[in-house]
Chain A
Amino acid sequence: MPRYVNLIDALNAAPGERPFITYWRNEEEQETVTFGQFRARARQQADTMRAKGVNRGDRVVIIMPQGISAMTVFVGAMVLGAAPAFLAYPNDKVEPSKYRQGIAGVTANLKAKLVVVDEQFPEDMLGHVSLSDGCAIRRACEENDAGLVGAVIDASYPADCVAFIQHSAGTTGLQKGVALTHAAVLRQLEYLTQTLDVDNNDKIYSWLPLYHDMGLIACFMMPMVYHVPVVMQSPLDWVMQPETMLQVVSEHRCTLAWLPNFTFQFVSRKTRPSRRARYDLSSVRAFINCSEPVRASSMQEFQEAFQACGVKAGAFKSSYAMAENVFAVTQSGVRSESGPSRIWADGSRFRNSHQIVPVANGTPDAVCFTSSGRLLPNHEIRIMSESNAILADGMVGEIFIKSECLFEGYYNRPDLTAQAFVDGWYRTGDLGFSLGGELYVVGRLKDLIIVGGENLYPQDIEDVVASHPAIHDGRVIALGVDNPDLGTQEIVIIAEVENEELLEKSQEIEREIRSAVAGGLGVSAGMIFLKPPKWIVKSTAGKPARSATLEKLQKEHRELRIES
């Protein structure tokens, strides 16, 4: 059982002088707060919010740049028993119109008592924040907020109160608010820290945004509850200079880092070989690959790039996580000397019958899967068929989960909640299989392409297409679109060429791609659209956005009547 009544109780139990958060901007500008200092600043924020009428059960929306101030506002709201929610701060990666639409939708659903923004938050954006009756806006000022000590506030509310609301991934504006109780969060953290053997010697590194479960739970709540120091940098600073991740880990001797799969390739490719020798990554006992499909090749690339910096093969771990379960569902073994398990399966059986038949590495048409690890304690999964039958090990189906950490519903959205649960099991919308007690995640159910009864995973097609030398790696989308004449789906491929001059050779490239797809996967590609650089629409995370790209394609090629 969790040792604390609620999350604030856990913070109050932390040794006051122990360092909590170090906010790293560069080697000369770093701010560290101890648990005692953080507690005092959070209480001061609570005082200020109470003066604005915030009480137990209210919602507080926080739209501030990532930093210690935003975190003290978040915890300050929890001190009062209110439920805070971090929303993404506007940035140049998101179209302003989309951001405005998103912020309006999310804030309308939350019906917040208080919206806290920073001094620089654009006035025109503020006009799109939906304010319910009695809702106030506060511009937090870092200079005024720092250094003040708030009164001790009785935070003895029960663990079944909502602690905070985190938003599940989804199109901005349609993001679903996941309300999580203190009890659910404490249980998740207990299981996670047990599984990872977290102790006082650990130090966490993070560049992750706090509005995402991986940043919020693993890199903020877990350190707060288990009194572990964390070194953070802003996501924007990291993306502009990805190599700084290596610098921070080296300087601070961090031991744990949660990273989405793309980070492993991104950091390897954006750090010049000549500069690698200056870093020492030997302190890291776990780089946890999470929140995207886990690819062994990405971790291998990172290991090869930084082997000389002390990166151990056993340091690579994987996890399957989601906001609806607070965070992790599975985690690969932290004591293992090697990376996550891998399995090679017969490609044809996988595509035709959703079945995993292990074959030797190197077998023609073999498909490689990387494990996301074993279930956390008190977690269960079922792999379900389309007709809701429970599937055996080695069969691919939709992943359903049940756990002590599961959310109770989407905030103010009973309609979505009803769709999400079947007999108390949460439908994840992800496809995967169990084998040898481990979970392998294959992809998203909605992205599955079914051609003449054969199941195809877009990533497999995209990998084949991206291997063509004229196609830009990572800029390919494969989609299944209905073909009414054939009564089934056909594969549509959208791919960016390396440079515009290559478009003159479209016919030849198309022919080669068709041949590669047919040869590699045994299926025929339907329409292939070769596009100039930067044509494919990207998500806020910088990845090809399927639905938005299809929408663009439909607008540009109305004559083709492409329908999803």
Chain B
Amino acid sequence: MTAEEQKMVDIILRLIRKTNVTIDENTLLVSSGLVDSMALGDLLLELEDLTNMRIPAGKVRPKDLDTVAMMFATAARVGKPQK
């Protein structure tokens, strides 16, 4: 796991308010119900900060954020440099 991925894991743990859960870069987040759709906006903002990329609206679906690894892959695929 990269340092950025570890930071995202820490953010997710804080966001979901659970202490007895272990998350790695491949843990299913959305499809498992750990993260709900109302929290995806927060994750996208954090992802933009961690990657220094801008994620355009309409380019990402919840399934694209199902794991931490997928989040960073999605940012690499659709992200644009921050203005």
Whether B77 sits at the interface, judged by CB under 8 Å, is no
- The answer to whether B38 and A244 touch across the interface, beta carbons within 8 angstroms, is no
Q: Once bound together, how far apart are the Cα atoms of A111 and B38, in whole Å?
A: 35
Contact of A26 with B59 at beta-carbon distance under 8 Å, contacts A239-B40, A241-B41, A270-B41 already known = yes
A534–B16 touching, CB < 8 Å: yes
Q: Are the C-beta atoms of B18 and A500 separated by less than 8 Å?
A: yes
Residues of B within 8 A of A236 (CB): 37, 61-62
Contact B18 A542 (CB under 8 A): no
Beta-carbon contact of B17 and A240 below 8 Å? no
Does A93 sit at the interface, judged by CB under 8 A? yes
**What does the 1/0 interface line of B16-47 toward A look like (CB < 8 Å)?**
11111000000000110100111011101100
Q: How far is the CA of A247 from the CA of B58 in the complex (A)?
A: 13
Whole-angstrom CA separation of A542 from B36 in the bound complex: 9
**A233-B57 contact given A92-B31, A500-B17, CB 8 Å threshold:** yes
- Residue pair B58, A272 in contact (C-beta under 8 Å): no
Q: Complex formed: what's the CA distance from A26 to B60 in Å?
A: 11
A240/B60 in contact, CB under 8 A: yes
How far, in whole Å, are A24 and B18 apart by their CA atoms in the complex?
Answer: 36
Contacting residues, chain A, for B41 (C-beta < 8 A): 239-243, 270
Interface check A427, CB cutoff 8 A? no
Compute how far the CA of A514 lies from the CA of B62 in the bound complex, rounded to whole angstroms: 39
On whether the beta carbons of A241 and B37 are closer than 8 Å, the reply is: no
Contact with A along B51-83 (1 / 0, CB 8 A): 000011111111100000000000000000000
Interface centre among A92, A236, A538 (most CB of B within 10 A): A92
Tell me if A499 is interfacial: C-beta within 8 Å of chain B: yes
The CA of A241 and the CA of B61, in the complex, are separated in Å by 11
B58 contact from A92, A234, A472, A501, Cβ within 8 A? A234
Q: Within 8 Å of chain B (Cβ to Cβ): is A28?
A: yes
How distant is the Cα of A93 from the Cα of B33 in the complex, in angstroms?
A: 9
Nearest-neighbour CB distance to chain A for B36, whole angstroms, equals 7
Q: Which residue of B lies closest to A247 (CB)?
A: B57
Q: How far, in angstroms, from A270 to B45 measured CA to CA in the complex?
A: 9
Find the A residue at minimum CB distance from B83: A278
Q: Are A472 and B17 in contact, CB atoms less than 8 angstroms apart?
A: yes
Inter-chain contact B18/A499, CB cutoff 8 Å: yes
Q: Give every chain B residue within 8 A of A233 (Cβ-Cβ).
A: 57-58
Give 9 closest A-B pairs by Cβ, nearest first. Answer: A25-B58, A533-B17, A26-B56, A26-B57, A244-B57, A499-B17, A270-B41, A26-B58, A542-B38
